[in-house]
Amino acid sequence: MNIMQPGPFKAANYKSDVTPVWCPGCGDFHVLLSLTKALAELGAAPENVALVSGIGCSSRIPAYTNCYGFHGVHGRSLALGAGLKVARPDLTVLVMSGDGDGFSIGGNHFLHACRRNIDMTYVVMDNRVYGMTKGQPSPTTEPDWDSALSPGGTGLSPFHPLVIALASGANFVAREFSGDIKGTTRTIVEAVRHPGFSFVEILSPCVTFRPDERAWKTQTHVASVEATDDPARAARRIMTDDGFNTGVLYRGRRKPYEHHVTDRIVDPAILEQEFAI
């Protein structure tokens, strides 16, 4: 076991005094708990951590922490996070999203964030439903799930976030179950530490619109095999598992994004010389 020295902060240092509006029983409470524990493990001062989110139940999470937060518009959290991290590489940036925010309206940004490989962590709390709008199917919802907006189900194949992350170039791919606080905490710590873009999908039950997801507690299980750095093996495993394997599935070795850095910063006045005739 990897023994970590206790850091200067406790999980409680990362909590704000705002009471979450989530329904009691919601998996996102667990994610908040794991997140604050993970930050304590990482030892980053709360003021040096920024949590960026979009719209949805899960995207409410930044205000429940004592970190800097940005609760932006629907679907664009990865872009907000990318701009922030490039402008402020000194910060620990985590983008917190849900399956509707991250995979539907924000789906294109997901692909390009994986590809861009900026050193930040993307946590998606996947409950396979739009909760804030009272229960519509999301990209990860099963095709036969009945709802007012899609009577009888959508009939559509669910989106496979882990495979898509892998194919798009994410450098770290993991799945967790929100109720496994220790596992989730450990994986968030590792995701933040891993260079480049780290993607953690957390199965986080919606007890209000998907009460069936309470069963995830017994359905999910820690994967019995170690993570791989071979994308082909990782893809095969992800495609053939039962969807409830948890743990780190892929640790890549791609070089993280960096913008060209000059060794000599010039006065803006120098730029004007090109215009003189």
Partner 1 sequence: MTGIETAGELLAHAYQMELEAEERYTYLAQQMELHNNADLAKLFRDLARVEGVHAGDILEQMKGMAVPEIALLDYKWSGNESPEALDMGDMHYLMTPRQALLLALKAEQNAFDFFNHLLRATSDNEVKRFAAEFAEEEQEHVELVQNELEKYPESDEPIRDDMDPPVSQG
Partner 2 sequence: MMPDKASNSASRSILFAIVGSGGAGALTAGAILLEAAGKAGWYGIMSRSVGPQIRGGEAAALVRLSTRPVDCMAETFDFLIAIDWRNADRFAAEMPLAANGLVIGDPANGDAPDAIVGTGVNQAHIAMKELAGSLPGGRENMIAAGLAVGLTGLPIENLTSVIASKLAGKGEEAIETGCKCVEIGSHHAGLLEKSFALETPAASQNGRWLITGNEAVGLGAVRGGIRFAAAYPITPATEVLEWLAPALTKVGGALVQAEDELASINMAIGASFGGRPSITATSGPGLALMVESLGLAAAAEVPIVVIDVMRGGPSTGIPTKSEQSDLNIAIYGCHGDAPHLVVAPLSVADCLFTAQWAVHLAEAMQTPAIVLSDQSLGQARVVIEQPADVAFIARRELFKDAGDEIYNRYAVTGSGVSPMALPGTTGGQYTADGLTHTVKGIPSSKNLDHREQLDKRYRKIADFDYGNHWAAIEHNGAAGTHEDFTILTWGSLTGAAREAMVTLADDGIGVRLVALRLIAPFLKDKFLAAVHGSQRILVVEQTHSGQFHQYLRANCDLPGEVRHFHRPGPQLIGPTEISTQIRNWRRS
Decide: 22 and 29 in contact? Cβ < 8 Å: yes
Measured between alpha carbons, how far is 31 from 41 in angstroms, rounded to an integer? 15
**Which pair of structure tokens corresponds to residue 128?**
């396979």
Asked if 56 is part of the footprint of partner 1 (rule: CB under 8 A), the reply reads yes
Asked if 276 is part of the footprint of partner 2 (rule: CB under 8 A), the reply reads yes
- Collapse the DSSP code of 71 into the 3-class scheme (helix H, G, I; strand E, B; otherwise coil) and give the result: strand
Pairing of strands 198-203, 245-251: unpaired
Asked if 223 is part of the footprint of partner 1 (rule: CB under 8 A), the reply reads no
Nearer to partner 2, 81 or 183 (CB): 81
User: Which residue in the set 110, 130, 145, 197 belongs to the binding site for partner 1 (CB under 8 A)?
Assistant: 130
Query: In one letter, which amino acid is 229?
Result: D
Nearer to partner 2, 46 or 195 (CB): 46
DSSP code for 20: P
Q: What is the DSSP string of 97-132?
A: EEHHIIIIITHHHHHHHHHHT-S-EEEEEE-SSBTT
Asked if 63 is part of the footprint of partner 2 (rule: CB under 8 A), the reply reads yes
Work out how close the CB of 41 gets to partner 2 at its nearest, in angstroms, rounded to a whole number: 19
Asked if 251 is part of the footprint of partner 1 (rule: CB under 8 A), the reply reads no
Work out how close the CB of 36 gets to partner 1 at its nearest, in angstroms, rounded to a whole number: 10
User: Which residue in the set 207, 221, 244, 257 belongs to the binding site for partner 1 (CB under 8 A)?
Assistant: 207
Burial class (CB in 10 A: 0-12, 13-18, 19+), 6: exposed
Q: Which positions from 19 through 38 interact with partner 1, judged by CB under 8 A?
A: 19-25, 27, 29-30, 33, 37
Measured between alpha carbons, how far is 6 from 15 in angstroms, rounded to an integer? 18
Tell me which residues touch partner 1 (CB under 8 A).
1, 3-7, 11-12, 19-25, 27, 29-30, 33, 37, 40-41, 55-57, 130-135, 178-183, 185-186, 189, 205, 207-209, 214, 217
